[in-house]
Structure 1
Amino acid sequence: MAVYAAVTSLMGTMHLISQSSLDFQESNKECSKSLHEKVGSLLEFLDNSDNELMKDLQKKVKDLANEIEDEVESQVLQIMEKDEHIQTEANERLRKILEQAIEDIDSVNEELRKQRNKNNNSLSGNCSLGGPTSPRSRVSTLENDMVGHSDEQARVRGELIGHSSLLEVISITGMGGIGKSTFAKTMFSDPSVMGFFDVRGWITVSKDYSLRKMLLSLLQDAIGVNEVLDKKPDDELADCLQKCLKGRRYLIVVDDIWSTKAWEDIRQWFPENNNRSRILLTTRIMEVARDASYPKNLFPMRFLDPEESWNLFCQKAISKNDCPTEFESVGKVVVENCKGLPLMISVVAGSLSSKRMLDEWNEVAQSVSSLVNLDDYQRCSGVLALSYNHLPSHLKACFLYFGVFKKASEISIENLIRLWIAEGLFKLWGIGDLEKEACSLLHDLIDRSLIVVCKHSLDGKIKTCRIHDLLHDLCLRESVSESLLYVSNTSISGTNVPQHRRWVSFHQEPVLNFFSLTFPTYCKTRSLHFLAVKPYRTTFELGLDRFKLLRVLDLLGSNLIHLSNVLANLVSLRYLRGDFSGYPLIYKLRNLQFLSFCPVNKLLPIEIHLPDGTWKMSQLRHLHSSSFYLCSPPKISGNKYRVLENLQSVHGLRPVCCTKEMFEGIKKVKKLGICGKSKHFYDAPHA
């Protein structure tokens, strides 16, 4: 929800001002503390109010919070100037802005209090489930459990490990949300199937697919991580994959393929070994399935029967044994109106799993029943929107942020959490563990069946996730309707970007310079994402000065030439990722939390020498590169060295930098990656 994101972001800004070492007048720091407290009461309202009844007031709160933050941050930029006269005038303007903001927030708080009292309904006599409110305390922790389809599983298993020596393609078909990918995952992880094949690989195709990413994914499954492969062109990667699969019995899952062209593009990768190799394909498009498979290998997914539907609901919402009769009867009405579509059942059950009162269950049941006469797609979209509306306010903004990413993309949990933190999407500043709190929010979304777990790391933690494309559509609809997000899936040339969008994301390679885009002269956008399918080179030398308030600049796959002076002016940046030169002024980004150097051309890696001023970047939490040099920290007194107190992870540090002083300066890190050839480790100084 845009209003929650606006309020938490404003609170974070107020906290930073009150704790800042910049030349703020003491009265401004006190006003910031006061405003922080008053804005905090808005969060209590958002967490406890009825979204529908308070919709107009929520918009008022969102607009006010955004306006205050824009004005405040504009003055903060002036206070960061070296000119003392400019600083003094900006401090005076800031004082007036903060005083007016306190009055406005007081007025809104009073209006909200009256409206909430007016709409308050007594819950006396309402039946309760009792017990804990956390869905994780009672819901199965197994992601993507398959319910039902036991006969279909037996048949497909028989085809996968059958006696035909030919390479066979088995196609699972059906509408979105019917469980094709979950079925494929169940087969992929079946012990008898796992033991039958020498090599197993999985690729997700989707509408906008990248052949290179799919090739690298399959090669990683076949031979493991290999940095040399990442430097090869696509045709050599395809040749490597064919050689890896030649003579071996393999199973490849081709998930979510949308066109016969996509199938033609990838089918040539898979050699005919005459050794009972198999391809398991999932698609919504019957034409694709017929083109890929013989008729006997077509398996349309059916809807769940009533018993299977109820079992899935109980798995996601509440144990059968713990379900009182009153709740069971309401739950069965909900299940009946989901018409056997697994995604609908899972998402509604996930929403109900956090609700303890019978009235809340009845409200959801009535809403689902109102959609019963719509077609399958409309009913599914309506139920997903209903579940979003029933999300707690603090989860809505985090959920909507998934719209920034490309549909069907596999998302790194670590990167997602860092982006959430940089955007200020949740309520925690200066205390506790930011990453831990963000991880808790992610688990809440997973427990509600809104996010799907893809991969786990070796220690059992979630490594990557994705969002179902129907839920991704919901993210886009809701975030666009709230004027929060703008996504471009077309050529950038000539694109008009709507006013006042906080998040802007581009998913295609530009054909012309980025700044042929029509942006306002003074842009209030807080994050820019360039998530090209293929790496590209472009120059961003002009125009970035419009984005004075930018917090996130994600330029993965972009080569930015001579950007040092421009970047140094983006002093609000908290997250920066891309391939750029001119590092000496990076240290001016004193608010930066995440810094990642990602070279576009991995055949020509750049030696990165970070400036001495890096040790002044006190907010830095993560420093990543394929390889970088950094001098030892400066002494601050006696034998004490400057320490980056907030630094959590470092990746790419050269062995020659590994001195005793270096380890003292980064002693708070939890993850450390040292990169270099083996001989460099022998030559490294003894720490």
Structure 2
Amino acid sequence: MADAAVEFLLNNLKELMLHEAGHLMHETAGSVGKLESDLLHLQAFLKDTVKVRESNERIKLMRKEIHDVVYDVEDIIDAHVAKNKVAGRNSRFYTQLLSKHQSELNLHSIGHKFGPRPPGKEKKVVGFEDVTGCLIDRLTERADGLDVISLTGRFGKTTLAWKIYNDPEIILKFPTRIWLTVSANFIEKDIFLRILDHFTTLDADMRAKNGDELAEIVFEYLQMSTFLLVMDDIRSIPAWERLKKALPLKENKSKVLITSREDSVGKAASKPRPSVPLRAFVPEESWELFRLEALGKLECPPQLVQVGKKIAYDCHGVQLAIVIIGGILYELSYSNNVDTTRRNWLKVSEDVNSYLSERDPQVRMTKFISLSYESLPHYLRPCFLYLGLFPEDYEISASKLIRLWIGEGFIQQEDSHIPLEEVGQNYLKALIRRNLVKALKFRADGNVKTCQIHDTLRDFCHTEAATENFLQEIKLNEQEERVPPISERCRRLSIHSDCKLYISSKSLTPLARSFVCFSKEPDDDLSVKDITNFIKAFKFLRVFEVQALTLKDIDSDIYNLIHMST
């Protein structure tokens, strides 16, 4: 992520030279301009070495040094803006330091543009016809009591469950259908309220009840209904035990379909009947899915069949791997020249083949994702890693995401006539075309309304972002006495728990530029004292996004957060 830091610093420098031109001394202005030139060269080096960073220790070390220096320069520039004076000596010092790195490397400058757009892909759920038939039979057959069916597997289970949930036979069979995404850190109360929302109005009294009280109410409503309840992604047996207390297991003849990556969870939930393990794709299914993802259609030019089948089969039947590799090739396949496309496919085939020696499926999957990440234009990489900021299975508002990207400085306005929001939509659509992000809902104008990232891809974003202090996630509860250690160089904090607990801890991260909180407790508020402590901890804050928090009696010092944009 050093390339993202360089990109951000370049934008910061441009703003500095634009708004401070009248105050810059001639000598200092020259240093700033030289620094900008050096950064452009370093940016090119970072782009050219992204694929060898792990295998070449010298390159890896250089990238780390660039990253540290760039953050130092950014801190100096922000300090200058805050104090409204020029730190000329420091600027010259870091210019010389960056120039030293430049002299050691053979660098060249780069640029970026959006190219032509490929046509839309044909939308079709591929494969698992036998498993689909088995599950629909289980869901529609008679049972003596509430029947729990478990679908287990690492990849593809949510897509298949969604296909079944929307099957015409299932819709006809069950007047009430409820889809719940459970995820790792679910709160019972939230789950039960989402079920009740299908039956009654959620007033203040209902929302004030605790989890056990809501479970009893859910039980009564479900007992009177014929329903299909899908619980997607239950992670553990204790999690299932916490949820099943609200289900009328004996009296009702409805159905529950759960999905889990753990076979033990599936067996416990559906006992005494067996769970349904999701098998890998057979070669024919892999080839069909590959064509849809890599070409956007099933028709494949004869020149591409052999190499295409090799890539598809080398993914070992793992849906997510096929989808990710297909996303790379889809961008490379938009060409009238089949020979050029074939050469691109052969190159990707070599990369995929090099990962086959890795026996651990999860490590191999991570390498496939890394291949897709490294093929991204450099301006899309920080936008993709930023998705690791959101909680698991979170339905992300596209407009909020784009505003955050803008506040972070990730979106570049190459044409003054095109609003940054429109450029942000183009960025998001580019990630969706590459299958790194899933579009959930669309607006009337065709733009994305909400999106989501697969858990495995989110895990990659976390790991990659953590290597260079790009992002740190913090989870707290009232039993924890202190905030876990945070790198003093951390640039972004993502709070997935009670925000007040973190702010009241007075944990200092003065170099952080972004503070995003996903507190689930409504009507929280911060006191003037809390806000003052917050300001002292984040003097260079650019993005401040707090969910479900109310700022009361705002202290005037909050307006001293000189960069804050959200």
TM category (shorter chain) comes to 0.7 to 0.9
Q: 2:486 aligns with which of 494, 497, 505?
A: 497
Corresponding letter in the other structure for 1:13: N
> Counterpart of 2:362?
377
Q: 1:209 aligns with which of 186, 206, 230?
A: 186
Cα deviation code 1:355-391 (max 9, x no counterpart) = 2544443333223223324132222222222222222
> Counterpart of 1:139?
121
Bigger drift between 299-308 and 203-212 goes to 203-212
Cα deviation code 1:261-305 (max 9, x no counterpart) = 222222233346966422110012222222221454621101000
CA drift at 1:246: 4.7
CA contact (8 A) 1:39 1:105 kept: yes
Bigger drift between 282-291 and 64-73 goes to 64-73
Matched, 1:186 2:163: yes
Give the whole-Å Cα distance in 1 for the aligned partners of 2:449 and 2:390: 16
Give the whole-Å Cα distance in 1 for the aligned partners of 2:246 and 2:443: 28
Residue 464 of structure 1: SS of its match in structure 2?
Answer: strand
| 1:346 to 1:321, Cα distance in 2 relative to 1, 3 A | closer
Corresponding letter in the other structure for 2:347: E
Matched, 1:167 2:146: yes
Q: 2:306 aligns with which of 329, 353, 360?
A: 329
| 1:487 to 1:434, Cα distance in 2 relative to 1, 3 A | same
Give the whole-Å Cα distance in 2 for the aligned partners of 1:110 and 1:324: 47
Give the whole-Å Cα distance in 2 for the aligned partners of 1:34 and 1:221: 60
Corresponding letter in the other structure for 2:145: L
CA contact (8 A) 1:72 1:97 kept: no
Residue 554 of structure 1: SS of its match in structure 2?
Answer: strand
Corresponding letter in the other structure for 1:427: Q
| 1:465 to 1:238, Cα distance in 2 relative to 1, 3 A | farther
CA drift at 1:36: 9.9
Where is the helix percentage greater, Structure 1 or Structure 2? 2
CA drift at 1:95: 5.3
Matched, 1:368 2:352: yes
> Counterpart of 1:25?
23
> Counterpart of 1:527?
514
TM-score of the superposed pair, with normalisation by structure 1: 0.69
> Counterpart of 2:51?
52
> Counterpart of 1:447?
433
Corresponding letter in the other structure for 1:200: R
CA drift at 1:478: 0.6
Matched, 1:547 2:538: yes
Give the whole-Å Cα distance in 2 for the aligned partners of 1:364 and 1:195: 45
| 1:494 to 1:241, Cα distance in 2 relative to 1, 3 A | closer
CA contact (8 A) 1:47 1:394 kept: no
| 1:36 to 1:210, Cα distance in 2 relative to 1, 3 A | farther
Query: Could you say which structure has the greater relative contact order, defined with CA pairs below 8 angstroms and 6 or more residues apart?
Result: 2
User: Percent same amino acid at aligned positions?
Assistant: 28
> Counterpart of 2:337?
none
Cα deviation code 1:73-107 (max 9, x no counterpart) = 1111112xxxxxxxxxx1xx245666677777778
CA drift at 1:149: 0.8
| 1:425 to 1:111, Cα distance in 2 relative to 1, 3 A | farther
Give the whole-Å Cα distance in 1 for the aligned partners of 2:411 and 2:169: 44
Within 5 Å, which residues of 2 pair with 1:152-301?
A: 152-164=131-143, 166-174=145-153, 176-177=154-155, 179-222=156-199, 228=204, 231-235=207-211, 237-238=214-215, 241-242=218-219, 244-271=221-248, 276-296=253-273, 298-301=275-278
CA drift at 1:167: 2.2
Q: 2:423 aligns with which of 437, 440, 457?
A: 437
Give the whole-Å Cα distance in 2 for the aligned partners of 1:547 and 1:44: 28
Residue 169 of structure 1: SS of its match in structure 2?
Answer: strand
> Counterpart of 2:495?
506
Give the whole-Å Cα distance in 1 for the aligned partners of 2:185 and 2:295: 38
| 1:213 to 1:19, Cα distance in 2 relative to 1, 3 A | farther
Give the whole-Å Cα distance in 1 for the aligned partners of 2:223 and 2:544: 43
> Counterpart of 2:403?
418
Matched, 1:565 2:556: yes
CA contact (8 A) 1:305 1:340 kept: yes
| 1:555 to 1:321, Cα distance in 2 relative to 1, 3 A | closer
Give the whole-Å Cα distance in 2 for the aligned partners of 1:295 and 1:301: 19
Bigger drift between 306-315 and 414-423 goes to 414-423
CA drift at 1:562: 4.7
Cα deviation code 1:433-463 (max 9, x no counterpart) = 1122112111222222222233445776533
Residue 317 of structure 1: SS of its match in structure 2?
Answer: helix
CA drift at 1:58: 4.8
> Counterpart of 1:403?
388
Corresponding letter in the other structure for 1:75: H
Residue 303 of structure 1: SS of its match in structure 2?
Answer: coil
CA contact (8 A) 1:4 1:393 kept: yes
CA contact (8 A) 2:369 2:460 kept: yes
Give the whole-Å Cα distance in 1 for the aligned partners of 2:150 and 2:31: 60
CA contact (8 A) 1:454 1:466 kept: yes
| 1:51 to 1:328, Cα distance in 2 relative to 1, 3 A | farther
CA contact (8 A) 2:292 2:298 kept: no
Cα deviation code 1:34-72 (max 9, x no counterpart) = 579747845983796352358556555544443332211
> Counterpart of 1:14?
13
CA drift at 1:6: 1.5
Give the whole-Å Cα distance in 2 for the aligned partners of 1:105 and 1:60: 10
Residue 533 of structure 2: SS of its match in structure 1?
Answer: coil
CA contact (8 A) 1:508 1:531 kept: yes
Residue 355 of structure 2: SS of its match in structure 1?
Answer: coil
CA contact (8 A) 2:237 2:265 kept: yes
CA contact (8 A) 1:5 1:424 kept: no
| 1:510 to 1:347, Cα distance in 2 relative to 1, 3 A | same
How many residues were matched structurally?
A: 538
Q: 1:486 aligns with which of 472, 475, 488?
A: 472
| 1:315 to 1:229, Cα distance in 2 relative to 1, 3 A | farther
CA contact (8 A) 2:2 2:63 kept: yes
Bigger drift between 406-415 and 272-281 goes to 272-281
**5+ residue gaps in structure 1?**
80-89, 118-131, 576-687
Corresponding letter in the other structure for 2:210: D
CA drift at 1:202: 1.4
Cα deviation code 1:577-611 (max 9, x no counterpart) = xxxxxxxxxxxxxxxxxxxxxxxxxxxxxxxxxxx
Cα deviation code 1:535-584 (max 9, x no counterpart) = 56666242531321111223324465655234222121112xxxxxxxxx
Cα deviation code 1:587-636 (max 9, x no counterpart) = xxxxxxxxxxxxxxxxxxxxxxxxxxxxxxxxxxxxxxxxxxxxxxxxxx
Give the whole-Å Cα distance in 1 for the aligned partners of 2:210 and 2:217: 10
Bigger drift between 256-265 and 373-382 goes to 373-382
Residue 239 of structure 2: SS of its match in structure 1?
Answer: helix
Residue 253 of structure 1: SS of its match in structure 2?
Answer: strand
| 1:228 to 1:134, Cα distance in 2 relative to 1, 3 A | farther
CA drift at 1:183: 0.6
Give the whole-Å Cα distance in 2 for the aligned partners of 1:234 and 1:515: 25
Matched, 1:70 2:54: no
**5+ residue gaps in structure 2?**
54-58, 334-339
Bigger drift between 99-108 and 393-402 goes to 99-108
CA drift at 1:24: 5.3
Cα deviation code 1:325-364 (max 9, x no counterpart) = 4543233222222110101111111122222544443333
> Counterpart of 2:56?
none
Within 5 Å, which residues of 2 pair with 1:86-101?
A: 90=85, 93-94=86-87
Bigger drift between 233-242 and 402-411 goes to 233-242
Within 5 Å, which residues of 2 pair with 1:97-136?
A: 114-115=106-107, 136=118
Cα deviation code 1:125-160 (max 9, x no counterpart) = xxxxxxx976742533x3xx4211112111211222
| 1:558 to 1:133, Cα distance in 2 relative to 1, 3 A | closer
TM-score of the superposed pair, with normalisation by structure 2: 0.83
Cα deviation code 1:501-526 (max 9, x no counterpart) = 11122323479664546536xx2111
Bigger drift between 294-303 and 237-246 goes to 237-246
